[in-house]
Structure 1
């Protein structure tokens, strides 16, 4: 991260004698020792737990985002038809339309503009798209955010309405059922979207079920931690976001623009 300019670059300087980032290692050790001296063991364990659970939640969400991401290096699709005036659209980039001698062929730019109407039409992929697009990718991103929010609400309901649910209060059961129904609909929407066709060495099985369960369980376990842990975590995250916003983000933008100039 220091080499990429996300955190202070001097933290990544490798010592010529020890061949390690000496300054970064010393500062990390001092910070760890300071926290160990200020906080009790239980508080440190809770901080480690909430940080780990958040990281696992982000990883599970990224699995969904990457699985349904638009392939930037995908080939162009073709418009082919035997009649010049009646062109048919196909999304399959593997079709070799140039082999047809009596048909007209037109390359289709895969880039598109994401619109609200396009998102609505793509909710359950009624068009049966086989390859991901920017619209389907954006829809999956929205679905993942909605699912995480619903998981948070469901976890709060389980925590604070457990007695009402145990005593079969109708309104509590109906509320939890409605939230669960919306979560199932969101998962159905994600399942129907076209997924990436990139060949990789390993893919998580049972997507989106496994990542969705991971998000749900991790969020619930985070909610089980005490309020003081959330306060300390919020302060820690505020410091991290401030560092990234004031230092890391400007450096990342600067490096990206320099990379574009070199290209």
Structure 2
């Protein structure tokens, strides 16, 4: 792959993958239903929770600059078995997200054109079945095909498209905030209870009309407004100076998104009382009420550029999709999918042919084709509203395992050989110099979470280090697990079915064809297994053999002979 992406490209990719039309809707919805003007605090709390995950991603992105995102980090820190399921979940997450956005985008276009597509499809090719869509999403497949073609052309071309849309979206947000500030009234943050119409059911008034519990409930929804920065980590093999630029762009992205959400939530709640917010279109409605219809149109047109990052559809449960998944992204959802497939294939988790990279475009055409096939099939046939909650589980699982990997990497200090069947992480193999006989790593997860007395400052040189380890990673794990517990049983059932399919794939194919299995068959061990100080470099040489030494080594090895 070609190293062509700089800090600006990476940051705009993260902003584009995170900031969508949800920025125009999410704050108003939460203010109306959950938190009132306290939605500002909800976004602050959610930003802190997201920062915990971002810090962990930043450290591991500097240590393991590959295209596999959370899959690669888990592979290094915890083990092959756990990493496979993290990657397996990421595949489903990105495929569903791409299909959902494209389907919603097609519905939006259909509404603008007078429902011509829906009318013809319902009459000519209706679909039957609770798990199927009402009609085939032919237009959605067309959008996915265009995006896949753009991704296949090369990373520079696709990021240029994303950069233009992201900048136009940011300009629209700035215009919205400035225009809204001119008509803001701070008195809307202190409305007395007796001034609230009884039929509004708007709590007790004031800044926290629904109390602290409302703010916390709002924060759990706001949290998903910050999801998307992990897309940056899929560019580890295409970024210039990835050990510096990827961690920095992750933190810059989170800072920009936090500033935008805070500004938007303050403006919208001061323009119009929280109990009068329009659930479907808070900002256009607010500008209409304050006598600025021109700005309302600017917001509507500007939101079209955010369609690369979030789509609102009148018939695709727009309010629910936007509230739960404001981060959905056409580029941001599909961009990492071929790269995760490529990385897993390079490790033998999937067919190795998927890891072939075109010398002309610098992209994996086969992985892109598979990503197109999966996303298009879902967009064409399935009722995606039954599947979208599974995206949250995939995201939260990845966050948890990245935090676990940080703790695990920090816990490595003294080589202690073991024949435990649970010790299969590459990290442990390099440290202990032993081969695992069974690819199970649940024990490593438990050890990483519970064995904190051996934690130390990282023995490798990196551009970013998570502070207060293990406290901050543990807190991130706790918060993400609490969000996972809020999922309904139907979502968990579908998630379990997907894991069972993954289990069959792993034991029928991956375990026999993985890089670790081949090393074991050849009775090979990673080189320099006694050098803890250069652990990431040695580890990546055995894990990601397609990467060059120059792209991995940020410092000279500290050889100990």
Q: TM-score, normalised by structure 2?
A: 0.26
Q: Secondary structure at the match of 2:388?
A: helix
| Aligned: 1:255 with 2:518 | yes
More strand by share: 1
Match of 2:459 among 198, 201, 206: 198
For residues 175-199 of structure 1, what are the alpha-carbon distances to aligned partners after superposition, in whole Å with 9 as ceiling and x for unaligned? xxxxxxxxxxx6xx72x43525503
Q: Call closer, same or farther: CA 1:210–1:41 in 2, change over 3 Å.
A: same
Give distance in 2, aligned partners of 1:235 and 1:36: 20
Give distance in 2, aligned partners of 1:143 and 1:244: 18
For residues 106-145 of structure 1, what are the alpha-carbon distances to aligned partners after superposition, in whole Å with 9 as ceiling and x for unaligned? xxxxx46699xxxxxxxxxxxxxxxxx98xxxxxx96963
Question: What is the aligned partner in structure 2 of residue 126 from structure 1?
Answer: none
Match of 1:42 among 365, 385, 397: 385
Question: What is the aligned partner in structure 2 of residue 214 from structure 1?
Answer: 476
Give distance in 1, aligned partners of 2:409 and 2:498: 28
* CA drift at 1:209: 1.3
CA contact (8 A) 2:404 2:448 kept: no
Match of 1:9 among 336, 352, 355: 352
Question: What is the aligned partner in structure 2 of residue 69 from structure 1?
Answer: 412
Unaligned runs of 5+ in 1: 73-110, 116-132, 135-140, 149-185
Give distance in 1, aligned partners of 2:417 and 2:447: 24
* CA drift at 1:56: 0.3
Unaligned runs of 5+ in 2: 1-343, 421-430, 433-441, 528-561
| Aligned: 1:51 with 2:380 | no
Q: Call closer, same or farther: CA 1:33–1:212 in 2, change over 3 Å.
A: same
CA contact (8 A) 1:69 1:196 kept: no
Give distance in 1, aligned partners of 2:494 and 2:359: 37
* CA drift at 1:255: 2.2
More helix by share: 2
Q: Call closer, same or farther: CA 1:222–1:146 in 2, change over 3 Å.
A: farther
Give distance in 2, aligned partners of 1:238 and 1:255: 25
Q: Call closer, same or farther: CA 1:261–1:207 in 2, change over 3 Å.
A: closer
Give distance in 2, aligned partners of 1:113 and 1:221: 35
Q: TM-score, normalised by structure 1?
A: 0.51
Larger RCO (CA under 8 A, 6+ residues apart): 2
Match of 2:503 among 213, 217, 241: 241
For residues 151-197 of structure 1, what are the alpha-carbon distances to aligned partners after superposition, in whole Å with 9 as ceiling and x for unaligned? xxxxxxxxxxxxxxxxxxxxxxxxxxxxxxxxxxx6xx72x435255
Match of 2:375 among 32, 36, 58: 32
Question: What is the aligned partner in structure 1 of residue 363 from structure 2?
Answer: 20
* CA drift at 1:50: 0.8
Q: Secondary structure at the match of 1:211?
A: helix
Q: Pairwise mapping of residues 218-237 of structure 1 onto structure 2 (< 5 A)?
A: 218-237=480-499
Q: Secondary structure at the match of 2:399?
A: helix
Question: What is the aligned partner in structure 1 of residue 322 from structure 2?
Answer: none
Q: Secondary structure at the match of 2:524?
A: helix
Give distance in 1, aligned partners of 2:443 and 2:355: 36
CA contact (8 A) 1:10 1:23 kept: yes
Q: Call closer, same or farther: CA 1:44–1:61 in 2, change over 3 Å.
A: same
Q: Call closer, same or farther: CA 1:64–1:245 in 2, change over 3 Å.
A: same
Q: Call closer, same or farther: CA 1:144–1:48 in 2, change over 3 Å.
A: same
For residues 44-102 of structure 1, what are the alpha-carbon distances to aligned partners after superposition, in whole Å with 9 as ceiling and x for unaligned? 43111110000001111111111111355xxxxxxxxxxxxxxxxxxxxxxxxxxxxxx
Q: Call closer, same or farther: CA 1:230–1:147 in 2, change over 3 Å.
A: farther
* CA drift at 1:38: 4.0
* CA drift at 1:204: 0.9
Give distance in 2, aligned partners of 1:6 and 1:236: 16
CA contact (8 A) 1:2 1:8 kept: yes
Q: Secondary structure at the match of 1:5?
A: coil
Give distance in 1, aligned partners of 2:409 and 2:368: 33
* CA drift at 1:216: 0.9
Q: Call closer, same or farther: CA 1:222–1:39 in 2, change over 3 Å.
A: farther
